[in-house]
Structure 1
Amino acid sequence: MSTMQALLLSSPSGPSALALGKATIPDPIPGFVRLRVEAVGLNPVDAGLTGGGHPDWSWPHIGGLDAAGVVDEVGEGVDGSLVGRRVAVHSDLRRDGAFAQFMLADARALARIPDDLTAVTAAALPCAGMTAYQCVVRRLHVAPGQTVLVTGGNGGVGGFAIQLAKAAGARVIATASSRFDRLGELGADATVDYRADNAFDEIRGLAGDAGIDAIIDTVSPENASREVALLNHTGGIACVAGRATFDAVPPFGISPSIHEISLGAAYAAGRPAHVADLSTMLTDLLARVDAGALNPQLSRVIELAHVPDALAEIERRHVAGKIVAVVDQV
């Protein structure tokens, strides 16, 4: 039985429990492809799962949700012409993932990588990019002339949300604790230091009498719940880091909408159209990068062996943009 190099999680005790080892190369199953992994994008959810695990996992587990590489083999029911195709994917967190030389991926979720893009660039997009896409495009329907607030603008999701909202024609206010020039380069029209005592009032002042049309919160449920008070009539908030409440506003006043964002739910819900939409969103993001209309926010490229340290850094929220690990096939 052939084996591969993989980063194995022996127990749900955090990034430090990850170690390089050997695992069996998986055989394709119906509806899936086997991907020869070239690059893996790192995300806060990858770090969080190393500490919490999942009921569907067996041990040791192989993590890593975002992959880019080449289709090596296909399972029953999958078009054989996919073999040899360069693709990117956001995979099902219930299964073994991309911290390995090979992985299985749902064929419906694959997005073809444009010829001029590298696997490293493609791997930076899936989780953070599609989360932002769901917020801005799918759920909040950001439109020209609207005012949008993005919290945690230096994170992967925040950075993509700024760009997508700006591309939609919105005026963007972004919060961070540093690197405000970076937020401006991504498209933010105004920035606020969230550590300031008057940060909330500063945001309200920047919004003006019209208020905020849409909020993308990447910080916490408490933060999101407070921000609801900034929304104008029929405004909406997309919650990435935890669900907001309506407690900050009186009933039947501004009629806000709250959207909970969870890419993984597309797999868990079991509806084929929702899994296929992962491919649609990622294909659009890849095309935008290929056209020079979206910055992939690649901040650092590392080797697979350095993933544990990088995930620990992500947990401390000290990373701006995206870290991608390359997977050596030798």
Structure 2
Amino acid sequence: MRALLLEDKGKVFEMKVGTTEKPAPGKGEILVKIKATALNPVDYKTGNGGNPNWTYPHILGLDSAGIVEEVGSDVANIKVGDRVVYHGDLTKKGGYAEYGLTTAHTVSIIPEGISFEDAAALPTAGYTAYQALFYKMHAAKGQTILVHAGAGGVGGFAIQLAKNSGLTVLTTASSANHEYVKSLGADYAIDYRQEDFVEKALDITNGLGVDLVLDTVGRDNADKSLKALAFNGQIAFIAGPPNANDAISFAHPLSFHQVALGSVHESNHLREQKTLAEMGDHMLSMLQDKKINPMVEKVIPLEEVPKALAELSTRRVKGKIVAKISE
């Protein structure tokens, strides 16, 4: 089968399309004829760092959508011909290939009318935002949330999910992206280059602070974000924790939530693994009802993935980039 091959760690931007053996499904697995795979920062990060479970050449790509071609033993909920989308296991070969393997209990059926490209845009960014908001912080109508990097994948989905749930949404973004993040549902856009987001958040909330923060930027940004939190505020982080020890205070209690979506595949925790399908089902339903925008800004051929990942690594990309794998 055709696949984009990573010959060794650190060679992400040098990947080329080649041929490799077509996989076969084992117990509880399905073989998917992949139609589209979305790009994510985790691709170049893990590709550059490597993984002890990989053999080379390796295939990157976590978010794939396609048609089930074969099912393994003990698969009851998925059948050949189903249109599915899934978040893959980063310790295994991924979706920049004509075929991919995944576990049947973690996939979602794509409703009619939703393209493979739009479906593939959801898993890593969308499920991460969903998990942070609803499984970790239990976001609720009437609360305020500060979403960092709102023009990115996780941030963009978080804005939409929060707005759909009745929250007031503040987000950080460059001034060039203010109109874009507001089109996704942000009530307030803060230019992180020109404004102090803590001061702005406190000003907008009349000094109370926000109820929730989703930090996708890094440890220092998460640490600073604690100052924007209200009494009993919560922060969810995906790119490094804030200094919780210094922040813990009886007078101003806070809650801290680590979000690590992909680790669920190695957890052997069946109930938690099934939440991938649950999140996918809900987000696909929202997409079908036009309650969320998949934010697909560009669709590219498989050969252009390395160049697009290099572009993604600048952290200036808006929305999602998706690779069309086959017609």
What are the equivalent positions in structure 2 for 1:93-104 lying under 5 Å apart? 93-104=90-101
Q: 1:65 to 1:81 in 2, by over 3 A?
A: closer
**Match of residue 44 from structure 1:** 41
Residue type matched to 1:324 in 2? Answer: V
Residue type matched to 1:207 in 2? Answer: T
How far residue 198 of structure 1 moved from its aligned partner, in angstroms, is 3.2
Which of residues 136, 159, 162 in structure 2 aligns to 1:139? 136
Whole-angstrom distance in 2 between the partners of 1:204 and 1:92: 40
**Match of residue 238 from structure 1:** 236
Moved more, 195-204 or 123-132: 195-204
1:253 equivalent to 2:251? Answer: yes
**Match of residue 172 from structure 2:** 175
The TM-score with structure 2 as length reference comes to 0.97
How far residue 81 of structure 1 moved from its aligned partner, in angstroms, is 5.4
How far residue 80 of structure 1 moved from its aligned partner, in angstroms, is 7.9
Q: 1:181 to 1:80 in 2, by over 3 A?
A: closer
1:24 equivalent to 2:21? Answer: yes
Which of residues 203, 207, 210 in structure 1 aligns to 2:208? 210
Whole-angstrom distance in 1 between the partners of 2:120 and 2:248: 43
What residue ranges of structure 2 are gaps of 5+ in the alignment? none
What are the equivalent positions in structure 2 for 1:191-206 lying under 5 Å apart? 191-206=189-204
Q: Given that residues 201 and 210 in structure 2 are in contact (C-alpha distance below 8 angstroms), is that contact kept between their aligned partners in structure 1?
A: no
- Deviation string for 1:39-79 (max 9, x for gaps)? 00111111211101111001110110000000000111112
Q: Given that residues 63 and 97 in structure 1 are in contact (C-alpha distance below 8 angstroms), is that contact kept between their aligned partners in structure 2?
A: yes
Whole-angstrom distance in 2 between the partners of 1:262 and 1:81: 26
How far residue 213 of structure 1 moved from its aligned partner, in angstroms, is 0.2
Whole-angstrom distance in 2 between the partners of 1:251 and 1:66: 40
Whole-angstrom distance in 1 between the partners of 2:289 and 2:258: 30
Q: Given that residues 202 and 208 in structure 2 are in contact (C-alpha distance below 8 angstroms), is that contact kept between their aligned partners in structure 1?
A: no
What are the equivalent positions in structure 2 for 1:4-153 lying under 5 Å apart? 4-79=1-76, 82-153=79-150
1:159 equivalent to 2:156? Answer: yes
How far residue 221 of structure 1 moved from its aligned partner, in angstroms, is 1.2
Residue type matched to 1:121 in 2? Answer: D
Moved more, 298-307 or 243-252: 243-252
Residue type matched to 1:255 in 2? Answer: P
Q: Secondary structure at the match of 1:293?
A: coil
Q: Given that residues 229 and 249 in structure 1 are in contact (C-alpha distance below 8 angstroms), is that contact kept between their aligned partners in structure 2?
A: no
How far residue 200 of structure 1 moved from its aligned partner, in angstroms, is 2.8
How far residue 36 of structure 1 moved from its aligned partner, in angstroms, is 0.3
Q: 1:63 to 1:211 in 2, by over 3 A?
A: same
- Deviation string for 1:262-287 (max 9, x for gaps)? 11111121101111110000110011
The TM-score with structure 1 as length reference comes to 0.96
What residue ranges of structure 1 are gaps of 5+ in the alignment? none
Q: Secondary structure at the match of 1:153?
A: coil
Moved more, 239-248 or 6-15: 239-248
Residue type matched to 1:300 in 2? Answer: K
Whole-angstrom distance in 2 between the partners of 1:14 and 1:224: 30
What are the equivalent positions in structure 2 for 1:311-322 lying under 5 Å apart? 311-322=309-320
Q: Given that residues 7 and 56 in structure 2 are in contact (C-alpha distance below 8 angstroms), is that contact kept between their aligned partners in structure 1?
A: yes
Residue type matched to 1:164 in 2? Answer: L
What are the equivalent positions in structure 2 for 1:263-302 lying under 5 Å apart? 263-302=261-300
- Deviation string for 1:97-144 (max 9, x for gaps)? 100000101111010000110101100111100000011111111111
**Match of residue 225 from structure 1:** 223
CA-atom RMSD in angstroms: 1.3
Q: Given that residues 248 and 254 in structure 2 are in contact (C-alpha distance below 8 angstroms), is that contact kept between their aligned partners in structure 1?
A: no
Q: Given that residues 225 and 247 in structure 1 are in contact (C-alpha distance below 8 angstroms), is that contact kept between their aligned partners in structure 2?
A: no
How far residue 210 of structure 1 moved from its aligned partner, in angstroms, is 2.5
How far residue 206 of structure 1 moved from its aligned partner, in angstroms, is 1.4
Aligned residues: 326
Identical columns (%): 39
Q: 1:145 to 1:328 in 2, by over 3 A?
A: same
Residue type matched to 1:158 in 2? Answer: G
Whole-angstrom distance in 2 between the partners of 1:271 and 1:81: 20
Q: Secondary structure at the match of 1:35?
A: strand
What are the equivalent positions in structure 2 for 1:303-318 lying under 5 Å apart? 303-318=301-316
**Match of residue 190 from structure 1:** 188
- Deviation string for 1:163-207 (max 9, x for gaps)? 111111111101011310011110111110001253431222112
